[in-house]
Amino acid sequence: MLTPALACALLAATPAPAPSRLAVEVVVERVQKRYDAASDFRARFTQTLTSPAMGRKTNSAGGVMFKKPGRMRWDYDKPEKATYVSDGGVLWLYEPEDQQAFKQELTKSQLPAALAFLTGKGKLAAEFDITAVAKSAYGTPGDYLLSLSPKVAEPQVKNILFVVDPKTFDVRESVITDGQGNLNDLTFADIKTNGHIPESEFHFAPPPGVRVIDTAKLGK
């Protein structure tokens, strides 16, 4: 006979049902909405580049900033200092230790779509076929894991894995796999949006004595 006391004990021992998971379309919509509402974005990042064919793995870290429309800045602290900065039209790579800076028109150096949406360009659902991933070596329990495949094939991006924070819908990690199987794993921390980042952060003037290399003139 099931007594009230035994019934209470059984209920207490039964785990509560897990909260329902959102549909992929809803997660994508909330991620897009999160970044559409952000005029700028700042974070610390770690980057791991893995080349299975070469048996090589490199690790980097630094800070990153994006500002709409189309501005970005990556300041690498290690393994050596370097800065990528763009005002939306020109992309600079500055290597202070080598006292040189590379200049390139941004139209000839497109941002991966996985990151371009951070600068206000493109829509994830329009550019990718997106599915949920049940299990992965990336992220932590409870995260939303999204697999993105470009609708238009491109050698630089075969697949992207997004690790999405279930509370804020920030993309905390982006893992890009290219056509050769190389991995570009970017993890973001201390994410801040709408911080009124000044325009001056996205303009670069080569310091005196720095050699400037215009990539458009290379090979001519």
Averaged over 144-170, what is the pLDDT? 91
Q: Quickly list DSSP for 135-201.
A: --SSS-TT-EEEEEEESS-BTTBSEEEEEE-TTT--EEEEEEE-TTS-EEEEEEEEEEES----GGG
Decide if 57 contacts 48 (C-beta within 8 A). yes
Residue labelled with tokens 């909260």: 19
What pairing do the DSSP bridges indicate for beta strands 211-214 and 100-105?
A: parallel
Distance from C-alpha of 63 to C-alpha of 52, rounded to nearest angstrom = 27
Query: In the chain, what percentage of residues exceed pLDDT 70?
Result: 84
The gap between the terminal CA atoms of the chain, to the nearest Å, is 91
Q: Looking at residue 92, what is its pLDDT?
A: 95
SS3 category, 6: helix
Confidence of residue 55 (pLDDT cuts 50, 70, 90): confident
**pLDDT attached to residue 2:** 34
- Residue-level pLDDT at 110: 53
Give tens-digit pLDDT for 57-68.
999 999 999 998
Cα–Cα distance between 156 and 2 in angstroms, integer?
Answer: 63
Q: For each of the domains in the chain, give its residue range(s) and CATH number, in order of start.
A: 22-217 (2.50.20.10)
pLDDT at residue 219, as a whole number: 60
Cβ-based neighbour number of residue 63 at 10 Å:
14
**What confidence score (pLDDT) does residue 14 get?**
37
pLDDT at 134 over 80: yes
pLDDT at 29 over 60: yes
The pLDDT, as a whole number, for residue 3 is 38
**Per-residue model confidence as pLDDT tens digits over 176-201:** 999 899 999 999 999 999 999 999 99
